[in-house]
Structure 1
Amino acid sequence: MSTRGYGGSTVVSGGTGELVVMWVGFPLLGAGLGIALTAASGWLADLPWVPWQRWFELLARLPAERAYPGGAGVTALAGLVFAYLGVRERLTVTVGRGEVRLHRDGHGRDIARAAVAGVFLDGKALVLLDADGGELARERSDLDHGKLRSAFTGQGWPWRERDPHEAAYRRWVEGLPGLPVGAEAVLRARQRALDSGRGGEARELRGELARLGVVVRDEQKRQHWRLVPRHAGGDGEGRGDAR
């Protein structure tokens, strides 16, 4: 985990050490696991409940000089795949006086300081709020909380130690009143996405809810919601979806 200055900005990222762990550690760990599995392949091939039995049967039949490189190579390759996915998911936060850049998976997003009324951490998520209480960004990461706090406060951003709207959240239970028209259907779809592990779809549906004036946070696949204050008491409040 690193923090560094760059052109008057402060950059918080996982640092070089994290990249070394991913690109070197994951493949080495995979290779070691492959060697162990190859050594136990004869025993594993006899267990009917073990997956990939044909692979273990093949390893058990091969001579050791071919079985061990093959077993280690496949799992090392799996380690490289995990490293690639991990690198894509790394978040880099570049905080300047006038804007912050949130960079992940080859894409950067800039948010102007003038649009931000509060910055805080919600568990592992970095959250930026606008003046109306809506979320400008919610990005999960393993970045050091203290370094994120120092980066934002050092650049004069309005850091909050907790969510100022925390008391406004309600757990979503299907059919309860209070949601704008259309939000109930989106929450149902999003719950299905959460339950089946479709994180990308859940993020997209979070955006749909934001357009309806609903902020959502998750606690162990349970959705909690609140209305953006400018929508509270509006024409859509209290009307559920037509069934």
Structure 2
Amino acid sequence: MDVRRATVVAEPGWQVGLVWAGFPLAGAGVLFGLKSIAGWVAGLSWAPMQGPFRLVASIPEPWGTVGSLGAGLVLGLVVAAIAAHERLTVEVFNEGVELERGGKTWNVDRTLVSGVFLDGKKLVLLGVDTGELARESHDLDAGALADAFQTHGYQWLDGDPYAADYRRWVSGTPDLPPGADALLKVRADALRKDDGEDAAQLREELARLGVVVREDRKKRQFWRLTRP
């Protein structure tokens, strides 16, 4: 039987455990701290949100302490669950790459990949047409990623070889394929609203037009054309 040999890169167990334990404890500590000072804040005439603080201060003990600790634990667990949902796992094998996040899995065939690099905290798979097959946020070890791809014969790059080709997008930018400017306008609105899912879908639509797009921390979009 032919068994596919693969290298899996994921967050280490201790880091995952720290998230599940640390966030609930931190949430409990924060809410207990707020409960402890609620009476003092409620007595300050200039303090904002006095109504909620008075309400918290009026809860009799031990229910005030139990409630604040319980609510903090639940809040921390919710944050930890969100972090788990966003966690990226990368499986590299000779025939391709498998990416998994939030219960969703997608595969990239080896024959389509021309190179791999890190752009800050983004893992980028370049296509043979110079487009980007994947651009995924991660908290994985950079050395482990490089070793995994190099072990299976992928070209690991020091950075984006096409970084100099990017131009900042402004409405009405010339040289874009038909329809790309309108998609970039809608995507700019999605970025302003922090709608990551819509921005990702629009990025895929732009890729089909031969436009590679990325944004900086200020959510400004930069674009380049692929080179068939």
Q: TM-score range by the shorter chain?
A: over 0.9
Instruction: Report the alpha carbon displacement of residue 129 of structure 1 after superposing the two structures with TM.
Output: 1.3
Q: Which residue of 2 is the match for residue 224 of structure 1?
A: 222
Question: How large is the RMSD of aligned CA atoms in angstroms?
Answer: 1.7
Counterparts in 2 of 1:43 and 1:7: CA distance versus 1, 3 Å: farther
Mapping for residues 42-81 of structure 1, pairs under 5 Å: 42-46=39-43, 50-51=48-49, 53-81=50-78
Partner Cα separation in structure 2 for residue 193 and residue 46 of structure 1: 43
Q: Which runs of 5+ in 2 are unaligned?
A: none
Matched, 1:125 2:160: no
Unaligned runs of 5+ in 1: 1-5, 231-243
Within 5 Å, give how 1:1-243 maps onto structure 2: 8-46=5-43, 50-51=48-49, 53-220=50-217, 221-230=219-228
How many equivalent residue pairs?
224
Q: Which runs of 4+ in 1 moved over 3 A?
A: 44-51
**Aligned amino acid, residue 67 of structure 2:** G
In percent, how many aligned pairs have the same letter?
47
TM-score by length of 2: 0.92
**More displaced 10-residue stretch of structure 1: 84-93 or 195-204:** 195-204
Structure 1 position 176, deviation (Å):
2.1
The separation in 1 between residues aligned to 2:48 and 2:153, in whole angstroms, is 56
Query: Which moved further from structure 2: 79-88 or 16-25?
Result: 16-25
The amino acid across from 1:101 in the alignment is E
Q: Tell me what 1:235 maps to.
A: none
Encode CA deviations 1:10-43: one digit per residue, 9 max, x unaligned.
Answer: 1111121122122111001100111101101113
- Whole-angstrom distance in 2 between the partners of 1:79 and 1:55: 21
Amino acid aligned to 2:114: A
For residues 79-126 of structure 1, the C-alpha deviation after alignment (integer angstroms, 9 at most, x for no partner) is 111001000000000111111110000011111211111111111111
